[in-house]
Structure 1
Amino acid sequence: MNQNVEVVVVGGGYGGVTAANSLAQQKGVSVTVVNPRPDFVERIRLHQFVTGSDDAVEGFGRVMGRNVRLVVDTVTLIDAAKRQVALAQGGTISYDYLVYAVGSGASAPDVPGAAEFAHSISDLEGAERLRSALDEAPDSAPVTVIGAGPTGLETAAELAEAGRKVTLVCGTVLGPSLHPRVRRPVSRRLAKLGVTVLQGPRTRVTEVTRDSVRLDDGRELPSSVTIWTAGFSIPDLAARSGLRTNAEGRLVTDTTLTYVDDERIIAAGDAGVMPDHPFRLSCQAATQLGPAAAATILRRIAGKKATPVRMFFGGQCLSLGRKGGVTQFSYPNDKVNALSISGRTGAGVKEIACVFTLNKLVSGARKATSRAVRA
């Protein structure tokens, strides 16, 4: 490598941090991460943040190599022709390669009143607002969680274990991503915690008000605090920048994670999509896609052909409060099977997964930093 290569990583989540650490281990590569927050958010612990059992935040100095430059700002535009990104606070940053790792966030619910009265838990700011709302509400106040995916299940259980009166509105079925047999221990655990579960074709929410939730079967549920966990959306940065995206707003890439119209732009995490090889939006995917994106860039810098990414999944780990959980196993292609671990052991597996993921980031940061010291 005859000259320094500048790489800009847009987003400091799991995909962005793992990509940055992998790139920063290579001599002759300078890495800049642009992120709107000064700290790393453990998104998989935000439901714990709401009840105070974890702060869900780590300093970037611990999870990202010291030779990685952090810019606390928001990218407002990607100019692919000039190879520059524009920043919200003014100015631009030039790049030789760009890693698009903006992640995902809460979807805008198309239900009257939801945007105004329902809380989100998909990011730290939303979780902070929700925590404040819960602090202001009496312990006996009814809480409604809408959406029975992993986030909804974990949030409902965490709040119920903390003594809250929780109703979980599934819309269709409890845990749609779970195997039917694995839903049974989840259902038993929620029942033990006192969560009222509403599921079936007529339990879709039709309106959210300041103090209630209305369903399409005519019921009106009292709700002092309403939490919307159904669905995720992708930031519109790529679309605003004139880059090709799919219907969900995800940057369209090939199997090497390279943007189909520009080999200098590589996606990592939730914000990219390989149309012929879809993957589930998850931390599990992001921590594989980050290093894979870095590998694509490093091979291209070295004049080698980039290779397709290979992804392997082991399952889904759910914490259902601090004393219970369920681990849903899957085949390597992410198709779930009937195998699971539940109870305290399931909770332990989820905690191990969370700790392992953080330690993986810390290890990557040390490797990147040690490269800087050697150089």
Structure 2
Amino acid sequence: MAENTDVVVIGGGYAGVMAANRLTQRDDVTVTLVNPRPTFVHRVRLHQLVGGTDSAVVDYREVLAEGVRLVVDSVTRIDAAGRGVELASGGAVGYDYLVYAVGSGTADPQVPGAAEFAYPIATLEEAERLRPVLDSAPATAAVTVVGAGPAGIETAAELAEQGRTVTLVCGGVLGPYLHTRGRRSVAGRLAALGVTVLDGSGAKVTAVTRDAVRLADGRKLPSAVTIWTAGFGVPDLAARSGLSTDALGRLLTDETLTSVDDERIVAAGDSAAPSGLPLRMSCQAAMPLGARAADTVLSRLAQERPETLNQSFGAQCISLGRDTGIFQFGNRSDVAVWFHIDGRLGAKMKEGVCKGIVKHLADEADRPGGYRLHRVKGGAGRQKALEALRAAAPVAVEQVS
């Protein structure tokens, strides 16, 4: 009788669900997914939860393979030597292989008053906490959104479309990823919605109070509700468990997504730092990384050499309310190009992406091994960065075969 292999996946987001589903293609693999929530969080819709236009959750029965055992709990420690994870409930789960896909959340803002008076929305619980605050605030109350990445832009547009008085504080450039043309399009739509955009170095937040936001150039903005979308952080589980991480706390791996400390641990999604060169935090990276992590485990079980990371990007899409959006195209190395699609068609494309994410996960649950996007050849940018890294420190990160 063939020996059974136990694989534990920590984290039930985009990367974790993709990995768990893909691992079920072998009958001799038992997959356990440990996640603190009983439902899947569709994170790219959290701004809609804040605006009251979507719940941002999906039943796991829609996206998780039937053969995956779901344990609703939190992992407090990874015992790499003993090949087990300790749970907050007091229990433990053993493993032969571990997929580390704990995702990301709100970074510690390090700004006086931000933790006390601002509302982050990087997680379901944070967005749910903000929703009643907005409901109880007068329609004319000043709302300040801090951070001009996709989450900040989408939240500002969503609330302004509902008639809220919104100021978007960039702390730098509006939409840093966007091409200049795309940035102009987004700025125009925000202006049409009545959003006040404050950018440049003087628009860095230096303090948050109960009713105001202070900026580096001395301005004081009245703010009845301050929403914080600037920056992401990752859970410190890997560091607390004695595993090697980068400065942000992401698990350090080689290009097969294998931990530099232990070949039985692979990482995927926002919490992975392959070769110390992490990819952009996004669902666009998370699902292919989840598939790649699963393939690494399956290759080892088949006594084959795992393939290395070859990530391809294509675009960044941002909703600007319910009827307008932008689909900013980029090259395979994740650099924005001049071409974008905006307006109603941009909104339809963004909605298509949101629905497509769930479909990809559901399809992999029904037909494990069918997902192929992680095999699309990436651009030359990463290979050049790796060559430069290895030239500077040739033994800093070795691949585990």
TM-score, normalised with respect to structure 1: 0.97
2:174 aligned residue = 174
Partner of 1:272: 272
Pair 1:251-2:258 in alignment: no
Q: Which residue of 2 aligns with 1:313?
A: 313
Tell me, yes or no, if structure 1 residue 198 matches structure 2 residue 198: yes
Give the distance between the partners of 1:289 and 1:165, measured in 2 at CA: 39
Give CA-to-partner distance per residue, 1:100-135, whole Å, 9 cap, x none: 000000001111100000001100000001111101
Task: State the alpha-carbon separation in 2 of the partners of residues 180 and 240 from structure 1.
Answer: 42
Q: Distance in 1 between matches of 2:44 and 2:17?
A: 15
Matched, 1:158 2:135: no
Tell me how far apart the structure 2 counterparts of residues 349 and 193 of structure 1 sit (CA, whole Å). Answer: 20
Contact 1:67 1:368 in 2 (8 A): no
Displacement of 1:278 in angstroms is 3.3
Task: Give 3-state SS (helix, strand or coil) of 2:186's partner.
Answer: helix
CA contact (8 A) 2:272 2:278 kept: no
The 3-state SS of whatever aligns with 1:66 is coil
What are the Cα deviations for residues 268-318 of structure 1, in whole angstroms up to 9, with x where unaligned? 101011136431010000010011100000000111111102111111000
What is the identity, as a one-letter code, of the residue corresponding to 2:230? A
Kept in 1, the 8 Å contact 2:51–2:155? The answer is: no
1: CA distance, partners of 2:192 / 2:216: 27
Match of 2:137 in 1: 137
- Relative contact order: is structure 1 or structure 2 higher (C-alpha 8 Å, sep ≥ 6)? 1
- Matched with 2:96 is 96
Aligned position for 1:283:
283
The one-letter amino acid of 2:263's match is E
Using the TM superposition, name which of 326-335 and 35-44 deviates more.
Answer: 326-335
Which residue number in structure 1 is paired with residue 61 of structure 2?
A: 61
Partner of 2:232 in structure 1? 232
Is 2:11–2:34's contact at 8 Å kept on the other side of the alignment? yes
User: CA offset at residue 52 of structure 1?
Assistant: 1.4
SS at match of 2:201: coil
Describe the SS at the equivalent of 2:202: coil
Contact kept? 1:255, 1:277, Cα under 8 Å:
no
Deviates further, 350-359 or 267-276: 267-276
What is the alpha-carbon distance in structure 2 between the residues aligned to residue 315 and residue 277 of structure 1? 20
Partner SS state of residue 307, structure 1 = coil
The one-letter code of the counterpart of 2:170 is C
Moved more, 270-279 or 251-260: 270-279
The residue that corresponds to 2:38 in the other structure is: 38
Question: Structure 1 regions of 5+ residues with no counterpart?
Answer: 370-375
Which residue of structure 2 aligns with residue 301 of structure 1? 301
Residue 25 of structure 1: CA displacement? 1.9
Q: CA deviation at 1:367?
A: 2.3
SS of aligned partner of 2:190: helix
Aligned to 2:210: 210
Corresponding residue SS for 1:166: strand
Identity over aligned pairs, percent: 60
Tell me, in whole angstroms, the C-alpha distance in 2 between the residues paired with 1:64 and 1:211.
43
Contact residue 252 and residue 274 of structure 1 kept, 8 A: yes
Distance 1:182 1:199 in 2: 16
The answer for the alignment partner of 1:7 in structure 2 is: 7
**Structure 2 unaligned regions, length at least 5:** 370-401
Amino acid at match of 2:201: P
Counterparts of 1:77 and 1:36, CA distance in 2: 14
**Residue 13 of structure 1: CA displacement?**
0.2
Instruction: Work out whether 1:74 is the aligned partner of 2:45.
Output: no
Q: SS of the counterpart of 1:32?
A: strand
- Whether contact under 8 Å (2:252, 2:276) holds in the other structure is no
What is the rounded CA distance, in whole Å, between the counterparts of 2:176 and 2:110 in structure 1? 20
Q: Return the TM-score normalized by structure 2.
A: 0.91
Is residue 2:111 matched to residue 1:111?
A: yes
Higher mean displacement: 359-368 or 291-300 = 359-368
In structure 2, distance between residues paired with 1:278 and 1:68: 28
Q: CA RMSD in A?
A: 1.3
Aligned partners of 1:11 and 1:34 also within 8 Å = yes
- The separation in 2 between residues aligned to 1:151 and 1:135, in whole angstroms, is 20
SS in 2 for 1:348: helix
